[in-house]
Amino acid sequence: MELVLDNLGYLLKGAYYTLNITVVSMFFGFFIALLVAIARLKGNWLITSLAKGYVSIIRGTPIIVQIFIIYYGLPDYGIKLGPLTAAYISLSINIGAYLSETFRGAILSVSKGQTEAAFSLGLSPWQALRKVVLPQAARVAIPPMGNTFIGMLKETSLVSLVTVTELLRSAQLLMAQYYVSMPFYLAIALMYWIMSMVFSNILNRIENKLAKAY
């Protein structure tokens, strides 16, 4: 493990990029998912069909293919993106599709009586959604959203295939340099586990606070 300790700073830099990609992708994916979920529930037939098509295509194709389309495919049409930008875009689009189903199910879980009560108080449909339905749906969405977040944390390792120097790529470069693998694999496994546990605890606290609030 001496090699790991000697190169810990380099691995931590890779872990930083892993966290950065995860957080940025989840941030944009969250808003994509919310818009898609609302589009499927409240949109007209055209908007609903487009939203369904997006979810079906993204969920029905491997994420690695989506990454390759963004990074290697778009340059055929004159659109060339940097590795990190391609990672942000592809993972945001992917996570948006999966989270949209989580959000849609959470919104549907809120009883219609809550919406009707909001209307009786004079709230508009948008106000009822924002002030009554979404806060209650959040409590339902947090646990599966947490699982999706942790899954995304691990799936960032796939962007190493488009030369993003995240945690796995950092370890691979060190393996190539020192001709040894096991210590680095064990080290990054431990680092992934620690990051997953930290995020799980954060999400559990958020879930508990929402449970007390509603």
Look at residue 136 in the predicted model and tell me its pLDDT: 78
* DSSP one-letter code for 62: -
* Helical pair 83-109 and 8-42, crossing angle rounded to 10 deg: 50
- Alpha carbon of 75 to those of 120, 139, 160: distances in Å? 54, 42, 19
Residues 11, 14, 19, 25: what is their CA dihedral angle, to the nearest 10 degrees?
-160
For every residue of 155-210, DSSP letters joined together read HGGGGGGGT--SHHHHHHHHHHHHT--HHHHHHHHHHHHHHHHHHHHHHHHHHHHH
> Which alpha helices (H) appear in the chain, and where do they start and end?
2-6, 8-42, 45-59, 63-68, 83-109, 112-120, 125-128, 134-155, 167-178, 182-213
User: 133 vs 40, which has greater pLDDT?
Assistant: 40
pLDDT higher than threshold 60 for residue 214? no
As a whole number of angstroms, the distance between CA 74 and CA 77 comes to: 5
Q: What is the mean pLDDT of residues 112-126?
A: 72
| Cα angle, residue 101 at apex, residues 58 and 35 outer, rounded to 5° | 85
* 8 Å CB contact between 41 and 108: yes
pLDDT at residue 211 is higher than 70 = no
State how many domains the chain has. Answer: 1
> 102 to each of 66, 98, 140, 143, 144, how far by Cα in Å?
21, 7, 9, 10, 7
Q: Using one digit for the tens of pLDDT, what is the confidence trace for 161-200? A: 888 989 999 999 999 999 999 999 999 999 999 999 998 8
pTM, full prediction: 0.87
Domain coverage including residue 127: 2-213
Whole-number Å distance between alpha carbons of 141 and 9: 36
Q: Is the pLDDT of residue 127 over 80?
A: no
State the CATH number of the domain containing residue 190.
Answer: 1.10.3720.10
